[in-house]
Structure 1
Amino acid sequence: MQKNSPVLATHDIRKKVRQRRRELDSSLRYQAEQSIYQQLQQHPKILAAKHIAIFLSFDGELNTQPIIEYLWQQNKSVYLPIIHPFNRKHLMFLRYDRHTQLARNQFGILEPKLNVNHVIPFHQLNVVLTPLVAFDHRNYRIGMGGGYYDRLLADYQKTSVYPIGIAFNCQQIAHIDNQPWDVQLPEIISA
């Protein structure tokens, strides 16, 4: 029975923080988003990057569309994750522009329709803006529970890929009971 308690605790944290994020006051949400956008626009890794992966907002997450628009204006190549069609436990990234056709995946999240001409290998990305449900002061994160980003980022230190978590301050918790497979991000930008 003790073996399952961290899973239950993580489930409870996920549920509580997702609700907190969805219920964030609209004026506080706006102020926080503006602060995060500004931090990203001035971030040296973003400024130097050519290929940036990001996600489309879902379930009360930070609105990523203004970030995407900014990246396009800066002539950055933007990529979105999709669930790998042949290995359903992994992500792959496809180039995203204003003409990209989107479809909902099994979780109801919009993602680009598969086009092999738009795929970029993970190690060719410069920055991966990473979604999260909760995080702690050590930059450990709790995601939606599928483990997609933990698998994706497991060996990111062996590449030139730089992951950055983005979240609201209300998503920070005191401590995440991290597991050996959990990836500690080098940085989380929040407001």
Structure 2
Amino acid sequence: MESLHRDVDKRALRRFLRHQRRALSQHEQRLAAQRLCKQLKSLPEIRRARRLSLYLPVNGEIDPTPLLPWLRQRNVDIYLPVLCPFSANRLWFVAYRPDTPMVKNRFGIWEPDVRFSAQRRNRLPTWALDTLIVPLVGFDANANRMGMGGGFYDRSLAFMHRPGPSPTLIGVAHACQQVASLPVEPWDVPLQVVVSDQDCFRRQ
């Protein structure tokens, strides 16, 4: 019963936080994206990354794409998450360039079109990425993350619970998505850092 109650609470919190970010005007979104990217550029994990994944925003998610010209100038290889065609609720990470053929996935998010065999060859094993910039619905000051509820990142990054090479995980969000504290589940893959348009929180 307690677990059911907690699930209901999490669903309600998700709805509230998604409403919060969608309520931001386009101007507020643009300003937040600029401030976010300024913060990201100062992070040592971003400055030393050579293979980095970010995402294309939807539904009011904070936009990390103003970072792209700066990353390309630094010759960073850029990857985007792609819904794995052979496995439910898992992600591939596929190279993204200005000429990459794109397609909308079932959630209406643009992603590299892996129907092209050349695109599938541009896939990188997740452990080989240096840094992942990941979206989130909510976060707290200890860099705990609440995702959309589908478990895509947690399933795709489950290998990080075991020893071995793994990327740095950086969550990004609007400041209005911060909450006092979030429950931590055994399957949650911890972030190292959360960056908002106003602050930066590292896992203690």
Q: What is the distance in 2 between the residues matched to 1:134 and 1:113? A: 29
For 2:139, the aligned partner's letter is F
1:171 paired residue number: 177
The alignment's TM-score, normalised by the length of structure 2, stands at 0.87
Tell me what 1:125 maps to. Answer: 129
Counterpart of 1:152 (choices 142, 151, 156) is 156
Q: Is the 8 A contact 1:140 1:183 kept in 2?
A: no
1:121 counterpart letter in structure 2? P
Aligned residue identity for 2:157: L
Native 8 Å contact 1:140 1:184 kept in 2: yes
SS at match of 1:46: helix
Partner of residue 15, structure 2: 15
Q: Structure 2 matches for 1:28-43, cutoff 5 A? A: 28-43=28-43
**CA deviations over 1:86-125 (Å, ceiling 9, x no partner):** 1122111000010111111111111111122210111110
SS of 1:145's equivalent? coil
Tell me what 1:140 maps to. Answer: 144
Residues 131, 167 of structure 2: 8 Å contact kept: yes
What RMSD, in angstroms, separates the aligned Cα atoms of the two structures? Answer: 1.6
| Map of 1:183 onto structure 2 | 189
Name the CA distance, whole Å, in 1 between partners of 2:38 and 2:13. Answer: 29
One-letter amino acid of the counterpart of residue 140, structure 1:
N
Matched residues in 2 for 1:135 and 1:8: separation?
Answer: 18
What letter matches 2:79 in structure 1? Y
Q: How much does 1:57 deviate?
A: 0.7
Give 5+ residue unaligned stretches, structure 1. Answer: none
In the superposition, the TM-score normalised over structure 1's length comes to 0.93
CA contact (8 A) 1:138 1:184 kept: no
CA distance in 2, matches of 1:89, 1:79: 18
| Residues 135-185 of structure 1: CA deviation (Å, up to 9, x unaligned) | 112211111111011122333363241010011110011121221111221
Structure 2 counterpart of 1:176, one-letter code = L
Query: CA deviation digits over 1:43-98, x for unaligned, max 9?
Result: 21111111000100111111222112321222111000011111122111000010
Between 18-27 and 162-171, report the one with greater CA deviation.
18-27
Name the CA distance, whole Å, in 2 between partners of 1:65 and 1:3: 37
In the aligned structure 2, how far is the partner of 1:62 from the partner of 1:73? 22
Q: In the superposition, relative to structure 1, how do residues 34 and 84 fare at CA in structure 2: closer, same or farther (>3 Å)? A: same
Structure 2 residue ranges without an equivalent (≥5): 199-204
Q: Which amino acid aligns with 2:136?
A: L
- Percent of aligned pairs with the same residue? 35
